Amino acid sequence: MAAVDQPGGGKALPIVGGTLATMLALALGLVQPWEGYSAKPYRDVIGKMTVCHGHTGLVEQRTYTTQECQKLLESDLGTAWQTVQRCIDVPMTDYQAAALTSFAFNVGPGGAGVKDGLCTLRNGSQPRIRQYANQGRWDLACAQLSLWVNAGGKPYRGLQRRRAAERAMCEGRAA
C-alpha cells in the first residue's frame, strides 16, 4: 500500500483496505445529496454565498455550467481530503476517510479565533473528533460526528441527518 502525497511534500498514511478512488466515490455519495445543487448563487443558512454543490469559495453572481460545478466539486473534495490528511495521522479505512472528508467538506479545517472545524476549534484547541481519531479510537471519533449539528448557533435537522449518514459511513455501516 503506497502512501499518498500530501501538501507540503509529506506523506499521508494509507487508506487501509481501500483506495483513494473508492474513498472519494464514497465521499461524493455523502456530499452531493446533502449539499444539493444550484447553478445560481444563493446564501446558505449562515448567510455565506454558495453555488453548485456547496461551493463557498470565490462565488461570482452568474449562472454556472454543469461542467464548472463538477470541477468545483472535485476541487472542493480534494481540499477536504487534504484537510483530513493534514489533521489525521493514523491509518483509516476508506469508510472513515470518506466520512471525515464529507465532514471536512462541510465544516472545513477550522481556525483559532475564526471557527470550529476538523483540525482546530475557535479556542485554538483540537476537537475531540481529531483527538480520538489520532488515538485510533474510531468508535469515539465516529460518535463525535453526531455532535456537529449546529449552523449559526442553531441545530438543523438537515445537519442531524447528514451527520447520521457520515457516522454510519465512519462506522462502516451503510449510509
What is the Cα 72 distance to its own chain's centre? 15
Band (13; pLDDT cuts 50, 70, 90)? low
Which class in CATH covers the domain with range 15-34+79-170?
mainly alpha
Could you report the per-residue pLDDT of 58-79, keeping only the tens digit for each? 999 999 999 999 999 999 999 9
Q: How far apart are CA 32 and CA 55, in angstroms?
A: 11
Q: How far apart are CA 68 and CA 54, in angstroms?
A: 13
At residue 85, the pLDDT reads 95
Could you report the per-residue pLDDT of 80-137, keeping only the tens digit for each? 999 999 999 999 999 999 999 999 999 999 999 999 999 999 999 999 999 999 999 9
CA distances from 6 to 64, 79, 82, 101, 133 (A): 30, 11, 7, 15, 18
Q: Is residue 44 annotated as part of the catalytic site, yes or no?
A: yes
Could you report the per-residue pLDDT of 126-152, keeping only the tens digit for each? 999 999 999 999 999 999 999 999 988
Predicted model pTM: 0.87
Whether 100 contacts 84, CB under 8 Å: yes
Catalytic pick among 35, 94, 166, 171: 35
CA distances from 101 to 26, 64, 153, 163 (A): 10, 24, 23, 12
Between 143 and 44, the higher pLDDT residue: 143
Assess whether pLDDT exceeds 70 at residue 31. Answer: yes
Catalytic pick among 5, 44, 74, 89: 44
Assess whether pLDDT exceeds 50 at residue 3. Answer: no
Assess whether pLDDT exceeds 50 at residue 166. Answer: yes
Q: Is residue 116 annotated as part of the catalytic site, yes or no?
A: no
Assess whether pLDDT exceeds 60 at residue 6. Answer: no
Amino acid at site 106: N
